[in-house]
Copies of this chain bind each other. A is one copy, B any other.
């Protein structure tokens, strides 16, 4: 069923399938940060992220969010609906952390009164610069209607994710989403994992995500495994 490799990104490899409407996303163990400047590798990273993503996509799908997830073909291979990716990284921020606290006078840990949405232009060549609606439209990356739809979807996904994770003792300071076009609809694509979310332990405030790798905060394997244990306990049985 798996056919030729279409694209090898920073964390996943994408393959064609016999069906032109689907793709296979293979979650790899490679880690990158700072637009590819820092590189690493972690055993089972692909496995944990694939399993976490699957579980989260299923939860969101069950709550009416249209996602690209179809099924798992193996521990690390996800069959997904093929979409035309919208070249925007949709970032939702609930608590100030990371880059935003460097770019603006905002203190790490500040809880935003309402979620702060940021749209970055998904472009490794340009270093993912921030967009506003006028620029996004001028660049042709999305229409105004699509931008409004992305905003609404991102906020809805946030509303679903925050309590879902809270129950598991995880705070969600921020996360990044990618969406794609398919049959005139916008659907949630890519992944939702320790690579694309900030997860903080609710009790200790400790990072359980890619920040452990970015800023050498400790044992990355332990961090990712702990998130997997809380979100997909069944894989440890």
Q: Are A129 and B104 in contact (CB under 8 A)?
A: yes
Nearest B-chain residue to A135, judged by Cβ: B116
* Of A19-27, A105-113, A159-167, the one with at least 4 CB within 8 A of chain B: A105-113
Query: At the interface with chain B, which of A117-125, A170-178, A224-232?
Result: A117-125
The interface on chain A, measured as residues whose beta carbon lies within 8 A of the other chain's beta carbons, has a size of 24
Whether A103 sits at the interface, judged by CB under 8 Å, is: yes
User: Complex formed: what's the CA distance from A115 to B137 in Å?
Assistant: 11
**How far is the CB of A5 from the nearest CB of chain B, in Å?**
26
Question: Quick check: A134 and B105 within 8 Å, CB to CB?
Answer: no
Q: What's the number of copies of this chain in the assembled complex? A: 2
A135 touches B118 (CB 8 A): yes
A134-B113 in contact given A103-B126, A105-B139, A126-B105 (Cβ < 8 Å):
no
By DSSP majority rule, is chain A's interface helix, strand, loop, or mixed? mixed
The CA of A104 and the CA of B134, in the complex, are separated in Å by 13
Q: Using Cβ atoms and an 8 Å threshold, which residues of chain B touch A116?
A: 134-135, 138
Instruction: Note all chain B residues with C-beta closer than 8 A to A103.
Output: 126, 129
List B contacts of A105 (CB < 8 A).
123, 125-126, 139
A117 touches B134 (CB 8 A): yes
Task: Pick the contact of A132: B106, B129, B132 (CB < 8 A).
Answer: B132
Interface residue A6 (Cβ < 8 Å from any Cβ of B): no
- Note all chain B residues with C-beta closer than 8 A to A104: 121, 126, 129, 135, 139
Partner of A138 from the list B106, B121, B123, B138 (CB cut-off 8 Å) is B106
Q: Kindly state the separation between the CA atoms of A16 and B113 in the bound complex, as whole angstroms.
A: 38
Query: Which residues of chain B are within 8 angstroms of A100 by Cβ–Cβ distance?
Result: 135
10 nearest A-B pairs in the assembled complex, by CB-CB distance: A116-B134, A103-B129, A116-B138, A117-B134, A132-B132, A112-B138, A130-B130, A104-B139, A116-B135, A104-B126
